[in-house]
Amino acid sequence: TQLLEQSPQFLSIQEGENLTVYCNSSSVFSSLQWYRQEPGEGPVLLVTVVTGGEVKKLKRLTFQFGDARKDSSLHITAAQPGDTGLYLCAGPRPGTYKYIFGTGTRLKVLA
């Protein structure tokens, strides 16, 4: 059973479109992180959210942590080809400091 479910698995959109990807769990997380992984590279941290309801913005990316701290979303405005990659959410397994990763959303932005 995957503790962190991400959806959609794959997303292919045109440049300039908006999109939202989701990270869901039935468990409460003390914090969640979002990473982006480009082909042939390791994941790179984008943001950490720690408070229920928290919203963080990183240029055209908006991250939200659910009020109940069981889910998070990533919204990209006016997507660009440079946003292409695998987006992973991660969080500490409840009650531990051991992080688990979701299976990811693979995004392709077409020029």
Partner 1 sequence: NAGVTQTPKFRVLKTGQSMTLLCAQDMNHEYMYWYRQDPGMGLRLIHYSVGEGTTAKGEVPDGYNVSRLKKQNFLLGLESAAPSQTSVYFCASKKEAGTGAYFFGPGTRLTVL
Which CB, 31 or 73, lies closer to partner 1?
Answer: 31
Neighbours of 3 (CB within 10 A): 15
Which CB, 45 or 110, lies closer to partner 1?
Answer: 45
Sign of the C-alpha dihedral computed for residues 20, 10, 86 and 18 taken in this order: negative
Residues that bind partner 1 (CB under 8 A): 2, 31, 33, 35, 40-45, 48, 50, 88, 90, 97-104
User: What phi, psi does 45 have (nearest 5°)?
Assistant: -65, 130
User: What phi, psi does 82 have (nearest 5°)?
Assistant: -70, -10
Nearest distance in Å: CB 22, partner 1 = 15
Nearest distance in Å: CB 48, partner 1 = 5
Which CB, 12 or 51, lies closer to partner 1?
Answer: 51
